[in-house]
Amino acid sequence: MRQIDVHKLADDARFNRFHGLVLLWCALIIVFDGYDLAVAGIALPSIMKEMGVDATSAGFMVSSALFGMMFGNIFLGTISDRIGRRWAIAICIALFSVFTAAAGFTSDPVTFSITRFLAGVGIGGVMPNVIAQMTEYSPKRIRATMVTLMFSGYSVGGILAALLGKGLIESYGWQSVFFAAAAPVVLIPFILKSLPESMPFLLKQGRIDELKRIASRLEPSYRPQASDRFAVPDEDKADNAPVHHLFHEGRGRSTVMFWITCFMCLFMVYALSSWLTKLMAGAGYSLGSALTFVLVLNAGAIAGAVGGGWLADRFHIKHVLVGMYLLAALSITLLGYKLPTEALYLVVALAGASTIGTQIVTCAYCGQFYPMAVRSTGLGFMLGIGRAGAILAPIVIGMLVGMALPLQQNFVAIAIPAVIAAISVMLIDHRRSASAHHEDVSAELPEVAPKQAVAAGSASR
């Protein structure tokens, strides 16, 4: 009888078609997610004109999706550890697709805000689930690269919304960009059929035949036998109290540090997203140039996410994150000073790489930190609590802009959270992470057959 450690099986597998399929589906879902989040901002001028709302009301209409994301991050991140990750992802896709499309049928600010809140629940809920899915099924040596590559689809979705938005709105009205968001609904049956379920969840459910099929696709050299028994370390076992495990086995301090880090990072991301154009226009740049800065910011974000993931797979991800947050503090501060145009574009790209890009690497680290069985819950709580930073940022920076402070002070205010985030990352106790635990356990285990992941000592854990 063989005892198969599914965690080790996933860690040691070589990248193959199965991994590519999981990456494709997760990245595509994130592209749709990014489109749905960005679409309201693209259409906002037309919506304000047609509904006759002022800037304050428009700000609330846009932020309603952020409130929804907070709920989605926490509740749909947690529920996936109970009902299975595939169904949680399917529910989220249905929510953000249907209710984003529904917003196109509204004609008043209140109804629009309600539909955007419900869409936000789906947008927020899908993030921790696809990150957990990609983390679980990625080979260890390229795990951070695969997660960040997948998550860079978020910026792709935002760029897609910007490129499609102009033509659709001019030809068919602002409603058309919302109707287009319904398209992913048709993919739900294919996602349910193609996307593998979480392995600890299958083990908990006793669905061993399904687990064997996934294991043989994950590592083609594995040949299922009737006598095979599957196991995961104790902390990877799914149970009905996933939130408890965020503070179990010495993870409490690190959990709080992840929350602080995410709060500060999302504060920077949404401060720049909301006010970069206005601040640059106020500094004397033309509106066209100011809008170009937003595109450069998002291009930098993609480079930062993929580059940060590549570095994290070659160096300690915690140290890479600290460096990226310190780069954010420096680059954002430099935005407040007069620079040659080429240098300014470079600094804006670095700011995008070290804020939006760093947020994606932070999610990758969080996914690696928690055990498989509570990965979605850990990510969901981090993103949900961090979402408060996204909600506060436009308000706080707006108040500072209203005080007519020097340009440098506005950017320093956005940069300070980067320093706080760097400190909070340094305070994360990596020794309590799931990855460190498995490294320790592997060091204690005797040599086992390669590519079979037969965890000789797992039965006695």
Question: Is residue 170 assigned to a domain?
Answer: yes
For the chain, report the end-to-end CA distance as a whole number of angstroms. 17
The predicted pLDDT at position 277 comes to 66
Type of residue at 53 = V
79-119 pLDDT per residue, tens: 776 788 889 999 999 998 999 999 999 888 899 989 999 99
Q: What is the pTM of this model?
A: 0.72
Question: Is residue 236 assigned to a domain?
Answer: no
Question: Is residue 232 assigned to a domain?
Answer: no
Which value, in Å, is the radius of gyration of the alpha carbons in the chain?
22
Residues of the chain with pLDDT under 70: 1, 41, 55-56, 59, 77, 81, 166, 231-245, 248-249, 274, 277-278, 281-282, 285-291, 373, 432-461
CATH number at residue 119: 1.20.1250.20
The predicted pLDDT at position 444 comes to 41
Question: Is residue 446 assigned to a domain?
Answer: no
Question: Is residue 76 assigned to a domain?
Answer: yes
Number of domains into which the chain is organized: 1
Question: Is residue 459 assigned to a domain?
Answer: no
The predicted pLDDT at position 286 comes to 61
Cα–Cα distance, 301 to 354 (Å, whole number): 7
The predicted pLDDT at position 264 comes to 95
246-297 pLDDT per residue, tens: 776 677 888 899 999 999 999 998 888 767 766 776 677 665 565 577 778 8
Question: Is residue 274 assigned to a domain?
Answer: yes
Question: Is residue 183 assigned to a domain?
Answer: yes
Residue 68 is part of which domain span? 3-196+241-438
